Amino acid sequence: MSYWHAYEFRHIMRPIAARYPVTYSRIGSLLESKGFLQTQGADLSTEWFAILAAMPPHVKPWEHSNNDPRTWSEIDWTRSSPLVFGQLMTKDEITPKLPAFLS
């Protein structure tokens, strides 16, 4: 399998690619068609917000890797932003940055 996401997202996205290969591939194709990938010149935050918006809510990213049963929609991504950006972001800061076609 070839990974379409930025290397910085490997710990979040690789378990999804392993458990949901079709979903992972579809999201990659969607984001690529819209130009939201870092490999296409988008910045890291644009790719991350596109992933947040495009991921189906039922996906359980860490269920098998660390026994975390929460779904994508149940995870508080404002608390996870330091994993990506090194700083805490509020929901009000994240929401306006989500790509409009995915909201």
Taken as a whole, the chain contains a residue count of: 103
Query: For residue 43, what are the domain limits?
Result: 7-102
> Residue 82 has what pLDDT?
47
> Residue 78 has what pLDDT?
66
The answer to the question of residue 90 being in a domain is: yes
Q: Rounded CA gap, 16 and 22, in Å?
A: 10
Instruction: Please report, in angstroms and rounded to a whole number, the separation of the first and last CA atoms in the chain.
Output: 28
The answer to the question of residue 2 being in a domain is: no
The answer to the question of residue 29 being in a domain is: yes
Q: Is the dihedral of CA 41, 49, 19, 28 positive or negative?
A: negative
Number of domains within the chain: 1
Segment-wise mean pLDDT, segments of 10 residues, the chain, 103 residues: 86 90 94 86 82 89 80 77 53 58 49
Q: What is the pTM of this model?
A: 0.74
> Residue 92 has what pLDDT?
63
The answer to the question of residue 1 being in a domain is: no
> Residue 73 has what pLDDT?
85
The answer to the question of residue 84 being in a domain is: yes
